[in-house]
Structure 1
Amino acid sequence: MTDIADSPPAGDLRSSTERPVVPVPYPDRPLPNGRTDTWRHPIWVRIAHWLNVVAVVALVMTGLNILLAHPHLYWGIRSTFADPWLSIPTIPNWLLIPQGRNLADARNYHFLFAWIFVLNGLLYLLLGLVTRRFGRRLWPTGADLKGFGPSVVEHARFHFPTDDHARTYNVIQKLTYLAMILIVLPMMLITGLSMSPGFNAIGGILLDLMGGRQSARTLHFISAGLIVGFIVIHVGLVIWTGLFNNMRSMITGWFVIEPAGSTAGPKLRRKPTTDAGDTP
């Protein structure tokens, strides 16, 4: 299934060679007050997203239960009990799966949802490459990279456009998603496999590459923390830029584009402009 067109909005100086026009399955639908309903997410993206939501929540909650069996982190091969790198405080039961400290069941659930997460991710990667969605939506162009500085300033001001510029990911979104897909998630998978007794029993060398079991455990915790941090920021921005519209796009595939010049946030919203270069 094809994705939304990635042609630049009116007034954008990026060339067509940098932002190729691609076919879309459904044309834009005009709405009242100058708004436009545009197709954003194909069904496989939406299914993968919600499977990830369930899997990641379960992985975090079972992972916390596993961590509580020994809530201290170290570097190297062995535990240096007298000098941990980090000690984790008590975690409330409502954040754990299963409720209460249950290492055996927590591991079983953790492995189950880990495989759901991995298989779902591999299918997502495959479809993203086959449909060329990654190249169109996630890979930054030269113009994107040149606009990195201004994009940082706009984000620092909590200034997020909801007009035609919201049709595509900005450069910070692209780099963040790529870092998660290409660095953080693989690190999570590799460190998890390196700690698996079953994987090591068949001749795995990942544990040695990680610098020992304790280093692998610590790196696994760090990657989990990065994922949780990403989720917190992601959910916060989803709420700030329009919870209903964003949720609707991830459920139905359709996303509402506001009139030209509109931005998210009650204090930063600008009135639509009437410049000749603007597209209604």
Structure 2
Amino acid sequence: MSPIKTAAKLLNNPRSKLYWGVPAVLLALLAVVFVAKWLTGLGPVADFMRTYPGHTELPPTTPTGMPAWLSWQHFLNAFFLLLIIRSGWQVRTMARPSGHWTRNNKGLIRTKNPPKKISLELWFHLTLDALWVLNGVIFVVLLAVTGRWARIVPTSWDVFPNALSALLQYASFNWPTEDGWVNYNSLQVLAYFVTVFIAAPLALISGLRMSPAWPANATKLNRLYPIEIARAVHLPVMIYFVIFVVVHVFLVLATGALRNLNHMYAGTDDDGWAGLIVFAVSLLIMVAAWFASRPLLLRPIASIMGKISR
């Protein structure tokens, strides 16, 4: 085999791509830091960052602090999202289903046509989707009712220059002052807004189009919204959620782990250990659920809602 063919074969190997991809990403991140350091040292950029320190003022009626319901919402959202990503990837990559599930056509949900038989993995994914959406609806309603919506919804146009300022601060490792108990910085506001009000609805709409619940005989509707569009949207949205979670967890731990975890899990604004303990317990629950999500345990649960077959 010629050297060129050998090199091409190595580059096409997934392990080789990972071998070269990791240092390439690290070099790119290092370059970003150097560029950000250089930019923030320029006079006009420094003036811009003084004018826009990285956060916008909230409406005076916006409550501060983290109520208990927000801690539960945060845990449930992370729990469902983790299993949704796992089960979604299983559905996408499985060679052979571990079993099939058919909905009981009685009770609250009754259809004229017989229910479709789907894989056990798809049933698990769709069930998690429904629970995640329900949790999200409750979250949005509580945000609106309690007035905390302004914490993750931009209320002025200067959120954009402030977000750019916060991004430069993060990239140059001169990170913006964190006070999540009172107000998120503008980059966080935009990230949370995109996640809750754009990425989540896109995941729902594209997933619904790909699900067996979508009316197959709706010709006009299917022409307006082809399944190819849903497939082209669904995977990138999943990748976005993975990136968001990784960056979110990294920043939580890197910008004052104890205080941030107390905000999220203990509802206090101090440096105690309660939040870390609750966070550790929640991680154990999620890890246990990850390994427990196997056909042996899923079949008895699925059989409550329908018929299990091979």
Q: Same fold (TM over 0.5)?
A: yes
Indicate the residue corresponding to 1:79 in structure 2.
none
| 1:51 and 2:95 correspond | no
Question: 3-state SS of the aligned residue for 1:19?
Answer: coil
Q: Residue 19 of structure 1 is aligned with which of 58, 83, 90? A: 58
Indicate the residue corresponding to 1:139 in structure 2.
154
Indicate the residue corresponding to 2:208 in structure 1.
193
Instruction: Note closer, same or farther for the CA distance 1:47–1:182 as it changes in structure 2 (3 Å cut).
Output: same
Indicate the residue corresponding to 1:213 in structure 2.
227
Contact 2:206 2:234 in 1 (8 A): yes
Contact 2:152 2:192 in 1 (8 A): no
Indicate the residue corresponding to 2:142 in structure 1.
127
Instruction: Note closer, same or farther for the CA distance 1:230–1:66 as it changes in structure 2 (3 Å cut).
Output: same
Q: Identity across aligned pairs (percent)?
A: 28
Indicate the residue corresponding to 2:261 in structure 1.
247
Distance in 2, Cα, partners of 1:221 & 1:13: 35
Q: Residue 66 of structure 1 is aligned with which of 91, 94, 101? A: 91
| 1:102 and 2:98 correspond | yes
| 1:118 and 2:133 correspond | yes
Which residues of structure 2 form unaligned runs of 5+? 1-49, 100-118, 272-310
Indicate the residue corresponding to 2:185 in structure 1.
170
RMSD after superposition:
3.1
Shift of 1:145: 3.3
Instruction: Note closer, same or farther for the CA distance 1:208–1:44 as it changes in structure 2 (3 Å cut).
Output: farther
Distance in 2, Cα, partners of 1:171 & 1:180: 14
Contact 1:193 1:206 in 2 (8 A): no
Indicate the residue corresponding to 2:194 in structure 1.
179
Contact 2:169 2:176 in 1 (8 A): no
Shift of 1:41: 1.2
Distance in 1, Cα, partners of 2:219 & 2:258: 46
Stretch of structure 1 that moved more, 147-156 or 223-232: 147-156
Question: 3-state SS of the aligned residue for 1:169?
Answer: coil
**When the two structures are superposed, what TM-score results if normalisation uses the length of structure 1?**
0.62
Instruction: Note closer, same or farther for the CA distance 1:148–1:56 as it changes in structure 2 (3 Å cut).
Output: closer
Contact 2:151 2:183 in 1 (8 A): no
Question: 3-state SS of the aligned residue for 1:54?
Answer: helix
| 1:225 and 2:239 correspond | yes
Distance in 2, Cα, partners of 1:203 & 1:126: 32
Q: Is the helix fraction higher in 1 or 2?
A: 2
Which residues of structure 1 form unaligned runs of 5+? 1-10, 25-38, 71-99, 258-280
* 1:177-200 Cα shifts (integer Å, max 9, x gaps): 111122211110001100122222
Contact 2:66 2:263 in 1 (8 A): yes
Structure 2 residue identity aligned to 1:193:
L
Contact 2:98 2:120 in 1 (8 A): yes
Structure 1 residue identity aligned to 2:85:
V
Instruction: Note closer, same or farther for the CA distance 1:155–1:130 as it changes in structure 2 (3 Å cut).
Output: same
How many residues of Structure 1 are paired with residues of Structure 2 in the alignment? 201
Stretch of structure 1 that moved more, 146-155 or 120-129: 146-155
Question: 3-state SS of the aligned residue for 2:215?
Answer: helix
Q: Which runs of 4+ in 1 moved over 3 A?
A: 11-14, 17-20, 100-103, 142-146, 161-167, 201-210
Instruction: Note closer, same or farther for the CA distance 1:175–1:108 as it changes in structure 2 (3 Å cut).
Output: same
Instruction: Note closer, same or farther for the CA distance 1:144–1:229 as it changes in structure 2 (3 Å cut).
Output: same
Structure 2 residue identity aligned to 1:58:
L
Contact 2:209 2:230 in 1 (8 A): yes
Contact 1:190 1:206 in 2 (8 A): no
Shift of 1:163: 5.9
Shift of 1:217: 1.9
Contact 1:184 1:223 in 2 (8 A): yes
Question: 3-state SS of the aligned residue for 1:138?
Answer: coil
Shift of 1:247: 1.7
Contact 2:166 2:176 in 1 (8 A): no
* 1:26-80 Cα shifts (integer Å, max 9, x gaps): xxxxxxxxxxxxx62112211111111110111011111100137xxxxxxxxxx
